[in-house]
C-alpha cells in the first residue's frame, strides 16, 4: 500500500514522532485526502476520518471567580417563598432557618422534627412553635417525636390567629394555651396521639368546624362542646392496662354540638366507650370497636355476639317494582362472636340504638362474622323486633358449613309474638339450607305479613341439585304472595 511521502518507513517515523508528542508532523493516509492546514478541525482530516471532539468554551478563571462571589453575596431565593417545608432537622436548625425567612404571612408551613432517644424537651417545642407563629401561616403542619408518659411537661401552643388549618402530631404529649388569645380563623384542627382533653382548647376556637382527634385519653369523662362544630372524628386509645381484667372500665364521651352533621368513633385499648349525643342535626354516624375489650354492646350469655362496627347514613335505595331510587336511612352493623370470656355485654343492641340521635331506619345491613358454626336466628329476629321501622333487611351470614347448636324449643319460645309489620323485602347472603336456616326462613315468613320479595344467595359450592335445595324451593313456592329469587333467578311453580 502506498503511503504519503517516504512510503512505509516514512509513515512509521511520522507516527513515532506523533506518539512522542510532536505536533508538527502528523501522518495522513493517502486515500485521496490531503493534509489540511491548521484550522477548525486541526490537521487530522480525510474522507474516512472524524474531527476530534472539543469541549465547551471555557470562561477565564477570573470571570468564574467573580461569578461565584456574586452568588455567595446574593440572598437565597427560598427565604422569599410563601410555602416552607422542613423535615428531618433538629429544632435548633429549624429555628435558625425560620429566622432567615422573610415572608411573614406564609400560605403553608410544615415542620417535622424526628424523635430522639432522650426526647425533645417541652421548652424546645415551645420555642420552635413561637418561631413558627411569627410567620403567621395559613396552614400549619407540626410533627414532633414523643416522650415516655409523665417524662416531660406540657409545651405551650401559641394561638395562630391567621391559621385556618392546624395539624399537630404530638406523640404522647399534651399542651397548654397562653393566658390570652384565640384561634380566630381556625376551621379544621387535627390532633394525633395526644393526651389533651378537648375541654382545654375548644373554647378558644370559635369558628372550628372539623375536629379530628387521635387520643391517648386516660379520662373517664370527656365533653366535646362547640356550637360551630360540623364534623367530629375521634380515635380513642387507652394504652394503660386496667387493674381488674374481668371488669372492663367504661369511658363516657358527651357530644354537645347543635350543628354537628358527621360523627365517627374508633375505639381501641382496654375500655368500653359510651357516647351520649346532643346533636339534632347529625346525619352520618360511625362506630368501630377494634379491640375485644372495647366491644361491650351485644347479647348476654350464652350468646357472645358483640358489635364490631355500627354506622348509619342516608343512602339511595331502589324498591322492587319501582324505577326511581329514593333516599332512605341505612343502618349497617357488623357483629362478631367475641370469644373473650372476660368481656360481658354492658348494654344490649336495643340500649345502644336508643342512644343514637337518629332511629328512623328503613334498611338494615347486618353482617355476622364467625369462624365456626353459630346459631343466629334469635339474634337477628330480636334485632329486627327492636328496629321495628326496618322495611328491608340485608343479612350476610358466616361462611361455614355448620350452624352449631340449635334449640328449637328455646327459639320458638324466644320468638313468640314477634311481628315485623313493616318488612317488605329481605335479602340473605350465604344461606346454607341447614335445619337452622329452614327454621329461620319459616320464622321470617310467619313474622312479616306484608313481605313481598325475598332474595337468597346460596352458600358458595352448594349444589342446586341436592335434596335440601328442593326443600328450600318447596318452602318458597308455598308463599305464593312472595316473589322469591335464588341466586338471581325467580323461583316459581
Domain boundaries, the chain: 296-400+414-492
Please tell me the predicted confidence (pLDDT) of residue 469: 80
* pLDDT at residue 431 in the model: 82
Q: Do residues 378 and 407 lie in contact, with contact meaning Cβ atoms separated by under 8 Å? A: no
pLDDT at 395 over 80: yes
* Residue pointed to by grid coordinates 396521639: 193
* pLDDT (average), residues 360-374: 79
Residue 110 in this model has a pLDDT that exceeds 80: yes
Which of 37-41, 76-80, 452-456 bottoms out in mean pLDDT, i.e. has the lowest? 37-41
Q: Point out the least confidently predicted range of 122-126, 230-234, 264-268.
A: 264-268
Confidence band, pLDDT 50/70/90 cuts, at residue 318: confident
- pTM for the whole structure: 0.72
Least confident of 113-117, 235-239, 396-400: 235-239
Confidence at residue 192, expressed as pLDDT on a 0 to 100 scale: 84
**What per-residue confidence (pLDDT) applies to 442?**
82
Answer whether residue 25 shows pLDDT above 50. no
Do 79 and 96 contact (CB within 8 A), yes or no? no
* 170 — pLDDT class (breaks 50, 70, 90): confident
Counted residue by residue, the chain has a size of: 493
Q: Compute the distance between CA of residue 209 and CA of residue 226 in angstroms, rounded to an integer.
A: 9
Cell 365456626 -> residue: 372
Q: Give the residue among 233, 386, 427, 217 at the shortest CA–CA distance from 311.
A: 233
pLDDT band, very low/low/confident/very high, at 231 (cuts 50, 70, 90): very high
Q: What is the pLDDT of residues 419-452, one digit of tens each?
A: 888 899 999 998 877 777 777 888 888 888 888 9
State pLDDT tens for residues 120-159: 888 999 999 999 999 999 999 999 876 654 456 789 999 9
Between residues 190 and 458, which one has the greater pLDDT? 190
Reduce the DSSP state of residue 284 to 3 states and report it.
Answer: strand
- Check pLDDT > 80 for residue 67: no
Q: Residue 3 — pLDDT band, cuts 50, 70, 90?
A: very low
CA atoms of 426 and 319, how far apart (whole Å): 11
Amino acid at each position: 500500500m502506498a503511503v504519503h511521502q517516504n512510503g512505509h518507513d516514512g509513515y512509521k517515523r511520522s507516527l513515532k514522532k506523533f506518539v512522542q508528542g510532536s505536533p508538527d508532523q502528523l501522518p495522513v493516509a493517502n486515500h485521496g485526502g490531503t493534509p489540511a492546514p491548521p484550522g477548525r478541525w486541526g490537521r487530522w482530516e480525510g474522507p474516512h476520518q472524524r474531527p476530534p471532539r472539543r469541549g465547551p468554551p471555557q470562561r477565564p478563571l477570573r470571570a468564574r471567580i467573580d461569578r461565584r462571589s456574586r452568588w455567595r453575596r446574593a440572598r437565597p431565593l427560598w427565604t422569599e417563598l410563601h410555602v416552607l417545608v422542613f423535615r428531618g432537622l433538629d429544632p435548633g436548625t429549624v429555628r435558625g432557618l425560620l429566622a432567615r425567612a422573610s415572608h411573614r404571612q406564609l400560605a403553608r408551613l410544615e415542620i417535622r422534627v424526628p424523635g430522639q432517644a432522650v426526647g425533645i424537651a417541652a421548652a424546645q417545642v415551645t420555642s420552635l412553635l413561637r418561631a413558627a407563629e411569627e410567620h403567621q401561616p395559613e396552614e400549619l403542619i407540626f410533627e414532633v417525636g414523643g416522650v415516655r408518659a409523665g417524662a416531660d411537661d406540657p409545651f405551650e401552643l401559641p394561638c395562630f390567629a391567621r391559621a385556618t388549618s392546624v395539624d399537630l402530631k404530638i406523640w404522647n404529649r399534651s399542651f397548654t394555651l397562653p393566658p390570652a388569645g384565640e384561634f380566630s380563623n381556625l376551621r379544621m384542627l387535627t390532633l394525633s396521639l395526644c393526651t389533651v382533653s378537648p375541654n382545654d382548647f375548644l373554647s378558644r376556637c370559635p369558628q372550628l368546624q372539623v375536629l379530628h382527634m387521635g387520643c391517648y385519653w386516660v379520662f373517664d369523662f370527656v365533653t366535646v362542646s362547640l356550637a360551630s362544630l360540623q364534623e367530629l372524628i375521634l380515635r380513642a386509645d387507652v394504652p394503660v392496662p386496667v387493674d381488674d381484667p374481668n371488669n372492663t372500665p367504661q369511658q363516657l364521651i358527651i357530644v354537645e354540638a347543635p350543628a354537628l352533621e358527621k360523627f365517627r368513633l374508633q375505639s381501641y385499648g382496654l375500655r368500653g366507650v359510651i357516647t351520649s349525643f346532643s346533636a339534632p342535626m347529625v346525619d352520618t354516624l360511625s362506630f368501630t370497636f377494634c379491640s375485644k375489650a372495647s366491644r361491650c354492646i351485644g347479647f348476654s350469655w350464652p350468646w357472645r355476639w358483640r358489635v364490631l362496627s355500627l354506622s348509619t347514613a342516608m343512602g339511595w335505595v331502589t324498591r322492587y317494582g319501582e324505577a326511581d331510587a329514593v333516599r332512605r336511612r341505612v343502618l349497617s352493623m357488623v357483629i362478631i362472636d367475641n370469644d373473650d370470656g372476660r368481656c360481658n355485654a354492658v348494654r344490649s343492641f336495643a340500649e345502644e340504638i336508643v342512644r343514637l340521635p337518629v332511629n328512623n331506619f328503613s334498611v338494615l345491613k347486618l353482617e355476622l362474622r364467625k369462624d365456626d358454626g353459630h346459631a343466629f336466628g334469635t339474634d337477628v329476629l330480636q334485632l329486627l323486633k327492636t328496629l321495628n321501622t326496618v322495611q328491608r333487611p340485608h343479612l350476610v351470614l358466616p361462611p361455614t358449613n355448620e350452624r352449631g347448636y340449635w334449640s328449637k324449643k328455646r327459639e320458638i319460645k324466644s320468638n313468640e309474638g314477634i311481628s315485623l309489620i313493616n318488612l317488605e323485602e329481605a335479602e340473605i347472603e350465604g344461606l346454607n339450607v341447614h335445619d337452622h336456616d329452614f327454621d329461620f326462613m319459616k320464622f321470617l315468613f310467619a313474622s312479616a305479613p306484608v313481605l313481598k320479595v325475598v332474595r337468597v344467595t346460596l352458600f358458595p359450592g352448594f349444589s342446586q341439585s341436592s335434596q335440601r335445595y328442593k326443600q328450600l324451593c318447596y318452602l318458597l313456592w308455598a308463599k305464593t304472595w312472595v316473589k322469591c329469587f335464588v341466586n338471581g333467578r325467580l323461583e316459581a311453580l
